[in-house]
Amino acid sequence: MANKVAESTSIDSVLHEDRKFECPESFSQQAHIPSLAEYDRIYRESVEEPEKFWGRIAGELHWFKKWDKVLEWNCPWAKWFVGGQINLSYNCLDRHVGTARKNKAAIIWESEPGEVRTLTYQQLHREVQKFANVLKSLGVQKGDRVAIYMGMTPELPVAMLACARIGATHTVVFGGFSSNALVDRIHDSQATTVITQDGSYRRGAEVKLFPAVEEALKSCPSVKNVVIYQRTGSAINTQPGRDHWWHDLMAKASDECPAEPLDAEHPLYILYTSGTTGKPKGLVHTTGGYAVGTYLTTKWVFDLKEEDTYWCTADIGWVTGHSYIVYGPLQNGAAVLMYEGAPNFPEPDRFWDIIDRHKVSILYTAPTAIRTFIKWGDQWPNKHKLDSLRLLGTVGEPINPEAWIWYHETIGHSRCPIVDTWWQTETGNMMLTPIPGAIATKPGSATKPFPGVVAEVVDIEGKPVPAGSGGFLIIRQPWPGMARTIYGDPERYKQQYWSQIPGTYFTGDGARKDKDGYFWVMGRVDDVINVSGHRLSTMEVESALVAHEAVAEAAVVGRPDDVKGQAISAFVTLEQGRKPTNELKEELRKWVAKEIGSLAKPDDIRFTDTLPKTRSGKIMRRLLRELATSGEVKGDTTTLEDFSVLAKLKDSDES
Ligand code: ATP
Ligand code: MG
């Protein structure tokens, strides 16, 4: 990647989006940060005196021992809250159980078959203490790595919080991954213990989890113990001595386990990136800074209030779930809704049904989900009131303006602000995002940097590019929630993130900043298409396609072209009921030319039912690029969601 990026220059912007949505006054009036002036004031302080700012925020959490120094920065190595001692499980649980939150719902869980289970803060506290004792009884010690391979059940956060409580470093592996992915991650982390379940439910069927663990452990000698939570009750072959039932161990465990005071830099978890652009990287997050970053972003970006029912639809296997289902919301004492299954079970309105029944007030989801809902049709959300919602959020990919508008109108009934939050596994918490009530929104823009974040758009020399021009998105200063390294490979961490433009964090994403100082993320730098010397952003061409009424989703890639350098291949998914005809292809090509210019007109369009995506729902353009270029795919496909997609795409006609 180093060389490839170094060759490239700026990115040309062709998207014209000038809609702007002011903050509803009724929202601003009650918001934590009620005006732009207030945001500006806080932002200024946060970048002029970052240590004072972050020290003050950290003071809102519980510390066993206060830090001696807020930041020690020896680029690229950061230490935050040096000398401080903290425990994240304590901050998520113990800090609340002595208050009126004791009997407040911490987790409201809905299973796919429809069962609802609620754990109050006090109940969750008890479960976590018991499970922490279970881990201790299996010999798990501070610093040991524990792999967690579960479905979306409350026992997953229980397991994470129990690890955090005793200082074991967890590595959650998404339950949809195969046993190979599990082997890689267990090898990489040298985990001694695996926590799993027999199976989970997805679209009405059982997804077996334990058999994948069983298979993986044939080649993972570091693992001494496996704990199995019984969820589905299907028959499994356990190995005596190694495999233990969760319920057996819990029945014997004491419900008192004080949280261990941990060094602020103690490793909390290892988590792998989505694998959108290549083989996943295992990022290490530590305790103190991550606690402060997730705490504050959750509070301000979701404008979280005591009475909210908050729902993030991500899987806990991704960083979004770590930061915004578990650690951020629970530190804030939120009532967190958690759903086990698929959005279209039993019908495509499951999400809207859940929102109405539980009176969800804050919904945080992904553009890929939103585009799918659009494809399924408005009749599904329209069957529901959705009047409990007051704030909507998205994360994971750039959101196309038309999808943003649909989300705003059809789900938010034009009443709810939308927070389009840009961040990464590496950043630990949100970095560019509207703060609702303070920052007016523009569809497709993640708006402004969160306090403490010094973001810029620069050229390859690291010089800021003029307003309106595309370039590399970088972060100039360290922030508390940042990853500290790649597990076992500090050199790669330095090389990949801190060496492109020395002294700054290189995000790998392209962006432009408009004249109002709003950031527009344009997609991956690696995905930029070079047509006749013009560098085009995938996001912009795709957004033009998605703006056509027949198109549900689009992915564009460059393939070599003798004349233009690269030609544009577009892969397009149609709205339900639309026919994939040659006339439509021509219409779409003309449409793009009209919308954003003939330069961006796709050279070929292929219709497809689905696009290749990561398990977290991100479009894997690198696979499409290989396919469009050579007809073959050789790159890493371990995080690909559905392998049959590639075969189908190979068969799809090219014209
Ligand atoms: P890999 O690093 O393995 O290629 P990944 O980058 O997809 O995978 P994540 O850390 O899950 O792994 O995703 C972060 C990336 O997702 C960002 O770098 C950006 O490209 C994209 N992204 C996330 N949120 C947004 C957003 N709100 N707007 C635009 N892009 C976003
Ligand atoms: Mg990435």
Q: What confidence tens digit (pLDDT) does each residue in 471-514 have? A: 999 999 999 999 999 999 999 999 999 999 999 999 999 999 99
Distances, alpha carbon 126 to alpha carbons 90, 486, 497, 506, in Å: 12, 33, 40, 42
Other CB atoms within 10 A of residue 392 CB: 22
Q: Collapsing DSSP states into helix, strand and coil, what is residue 335?
A: strand
Q: Is 558 helix (H, G, I), strand (E, B) or coil?
A: strand
Length of the chain as a residue count: 655
* Binding pocket residue ranges, ligand 1, CB within 6 Å: 273-278, 280, 318-319, 395-398, 420-422, 424-425, 446, 507-509, 521, 524, 616, 618
The two structure tokens encoding residue 633: 């795919």
- The pLDDT assigned to 162 comes to 99
For the chain, counts of helices (H) and of strands (E): 23, 30
Please report the pLDDT score of residue 4 as a whole number: 45
The full set of domain ranges for the chain reads: 25-454, 532-654
DSSP state, residue 68: S
Q: Which residues contact 402 (CB under 8 A, 6 or more apart)?
A: 443, 543, 546, 547
CA of 125 to the centre of ligand 2 (A): 34
Rounded Cα–Cα distance for residues 354 and 311 (Å): 10
Rounded Cα distance, 375 and 371, in Å: 6
- Nearest residue to 407 (alpha-carbon basis) of 372, 435, 383, 357: 372
Closest CA to 364 of 337, 384, 340: 337
Q: Determine the distance separating the centroid of ligand 1 and the alpha carbon of 397, expressed in angstroms.
A: 6
Q: Which segments of 251-351 are extended strands (E)?
A: 262-263, 267-272, 282-286, 309-312, 335-339
Q: What is the pLDDT of residue 3?
A: 38
Q: How far is the CA of 430 from the centre of ligand 2 (A)?
A: 14
Atom number in ligand 1 closest to CA 618: 7
**Contact by Cβ (8 Å): 494, 486:** no
Q: Which ligand is nearest to the CA of 273?
A: 1
pLDDT at 8: 55
Distances (CA, A) of 89 to 61, 129, 326, 390: 12, 10, 10, 29
pTM for the whole thing? 0.95
Residue 652 has what pLDDT?
A: 64
User: Helix-strand-coil percent breakdown of the chain, rounded to 5?
Assistant: 35, 25, 40
- Three-state helix/strand/coil letters over 504-523: CEEEEEEEEECCCCCEEEEE
Task: Give strand pairing partners of 226.
Answer: 194, 243
CATH number for the segment(s) 25-454? 3.40.50.12780
> Which atom of ligand 1 lies closest to the CA of 279?
3
Exposure string for 330-357, b = 16+ CB within 10 A, e = fewer: bbbbbbbbbbbbbbebeebbbbbebbbe
Nearest-CA residue for ligand 1 atom 16 is: 396
Distance 241 CA to ligand 1 centre (A): 41
Give exposure, 528-552, as e/b (b: 16+ Cβ within 10 Å). Answer: bbbbeebbbbbbbbbbbbbbbebbb
* Among protein residues, the one whose CA lies closest to atom 11 of ligand 1: 274
CA dihedral 582, 587, 590, 594 (to 10 degrees): -160
As given in the structure block, the two tokens for residue 615 are: 């398990």
Asked whether the beta carbons of 110 and 146 are under 8 A apart, the reply is no
| DSSP 8-state secondary structure symbol assigned to residue 84 | -
What tokens appear for 607 in the block?
A: 């219709």
Nearest CA to ligand 1 atom 18: 424
If one residue of 273, 445, 519, 621 were mutated to test the ligand 1 pocket, choosing by the most ligand atoms within 8 A of its CB, it would be 273
CA separation for the pair 197, 226 (Å, rounded): 10
Specify whether domain 532-654 bears CATH 3.30.300.30. Answer: yes
State how far Cα 431 lies from the chain centre. 12
pLDDT score of 1:
38
Q: Classify residue 195 as exposed, middle or buried by CB count within 10 Å of its CB (0-12, 13-18, 19+).
A: buried
Name the residue at shortest CA distance from atom 26 of ligand 1.
Answer: 422
User: Which ligand 1 atom sits nearest the alpha carbon of residue 319?
Assistant: 11
Same fold, 25-454 and 532-654: no
Is residue 70 helix, strand or coil?
strand
Q: To test ligand 1's pocket by mutation, which of 1, 177, 274 has the most ligand atoms within 8 angstroms of CB?
A: 274
Q: Does a cis peptide bond (omega within 30 degrees of 0) precede residue 76?
A: yes
Q: How far is residue 198's CA from residue 345's CA, in Å, rounded to a whole number?
A: 21
Residues of the chain with pLDDT below 50 are: 1-7, 653-655
Closest-CA residue, ligand 1 atom 19, reads 397
452/460 Cα distance (integer angstroms): 24
- Quote the Cα angle for 212-178-155, to 5°: 65
Measured between alpha carbons, how far is 622 from 278 in angstroms, rounded to an integer?
8
Residues 478, 81: contact at Cβ < 8 Å? no
* pLDDT score, position 276: 82
Measured between its terminal Cα atoms, the distance across the chain in Å is 31
Please say whether the beta carbons of 370 and 551 come within 8 A.
no
Q: Is 48 in a helix, a strand, or coil?
A: helix
What beta strand segments (E) does 421-550 contain? Answer: 455-458, 470-475, 485-486, 505-513, 519-524, 529-531, 534-536
Tell whether the torsion through CA atoms of 616, 617, 623 and 625 is positive or negative: negative
E strand segments, 91-198 = 105-110, 116-120, 145-149, 169-172, 193-197
Protein residue with its CA nearest to atom 27 in ligand 1: 422
Q: What burial class does residue 635 get, using C-beta atoms within 10 Å of its C-beta: 0-12 exposed, 13-18 middle, 19+ buried?
A: middle
**Radius of gyration over alpha carbons of the chain, in Å?**
24
Cβ proximity of 88 and 291 under 8 Å = yes
